[in-house]
Chains A and B, each alone.
Chain A
């Protein structure tokens, strides 16, 4: 079992809709959780961090963490064409961040 799983395929959403991304992780001791956005041909950039159970909102982004279920999610409200990218879930553990393979989001104007 991979440390961080992001299993859903490419997500197409109409402009203005909500995009929902999910991530599960295997290490119960993980304490820090991050979402990175990666545009094609570019390096990952941090968009959200979350450390405790519940929701954390930052602009149009909301991260949700449930440590009991080992589950992290990202909601993107009012999706814009500029949100079209791959979103990487990252989880801390063993003195490193482990990344999922990413979910591609395509926002259709």
Chain B
């Protein structure tokens, strides 16, 4: 597609619910990143894929967070048993390579009540 597409745009979850956030990167971009952005802060790295391989998941805050990119294109970030501290904007970005300029999707704003 023309840009990085994320869905849903907004997600409200009750504490303890599982959520799944989807990202469709720019066609041809092998690198895909998930970032978490809290209000008033810069994006914080969560995880990185090169094609279907998850090469770095060191930024995932707990084992409740899980990401996959099974066919090297669309990626899903799953958060199990959501907590209030998970409330943030989740940004997906793609690029031609890990240290290249990133193109961001519009983000998913997650609110956990």
Contacts and interface: CB of A to CB of B under 8 A. Distances in A.
Given A32-B99, A34-B101, A92-B99, A42 B106 contact: yes
Nearest to A102: B42
Say whether chain A's binding surface is mostly helix, strand, loop, or mixed.
strand
A45 B48 contact: no
A43 B37 CA distance: 10
Contacts of B55: 95
Contacts of A99: 35, 42-44
Given A32-B99, A101-B40, A102-B42, A96 B106 contact: no
A95 B98 contact: yes
A102 B40 CA distance: 8
A43 B107 contact: yes
B42 A95 contact: no
Per CB-CB distance, the 3 closest pairs between chain A and chain B, nearest first, are A99-B42, A95-B98, A92-B99
A20 to B, nearest CB: 19
A45 B104 contact: yes
Contacts of A98: 45
Interface residues of A, number: 24
**SS of B interface (majority):** loop
A92 B102 CA distance: 11
A46 interface: yes
Contact of A46 (B41, B45, B102, B106): B102
Contact of A88 (B43, B45, B48, B98): B43
Contact of A96 (B33, B41, B105, B107): B33
Nearest to A46: B101
B53 to A, nearest CB: 12
Interface string B22-34: 0000000000010
A26 interface: no
Contacts of B44: 99
Contacts of A90: 102
Given A42-B106, A99-B43, A32 B100 contact: yes
Contacts of A92: 98-99
Nearest to B107: A43
